[in-house]
Amino acid sequence: MPGMNVDPSENCFIKIHRFSDKITDTTVHFQVIQMANSFHMWFGSSPRLSNMAVAMQTKYDTSMPNGCQLMTESADSLSIPLAQKLAKKTGKQVFVSSDLSSDHKMVPLIEQRIFEEMKLYPEKF
């Protein structure tokens, strides 16, 4: 309406947060799509959606959120365990997808980078 000072971001239910970092020899890009009670975490070295999992806390099992693979290209996916950790930490439904393989050197560094970003910008998750 003319004359009204309205911030369009107040009515937006989807917000996007991007960041990148060099992990070992690879530049890894991260994107968080924040929704009302959930978020989607994508990370990878190329713009490709693969190995997607979802996890959420249930009232029946409080030790670890339930996780499920939605899309996969390899059996060696790190999407489910990471989705479970993020769901446990945030209490939200979490979707995780990555085009990276489960390189055992990179996995802890990727997780560490995500948790650093969560600590710096908790409102983005």
Question: pLDDT tens digit string along 30-58?
Answer: 999 999 999 999 999 988 888 899 999 98
Structural domains of the chain sorted by starting position, each given as residue range(s) with its CATH number in brackets: 15-124 (3.30.230.100)
* Mean pLDDT value across residues 12-31: 93
Cα separations (Å) of 120 from 15, 33, 39, 124? 17, 17, 17, 9
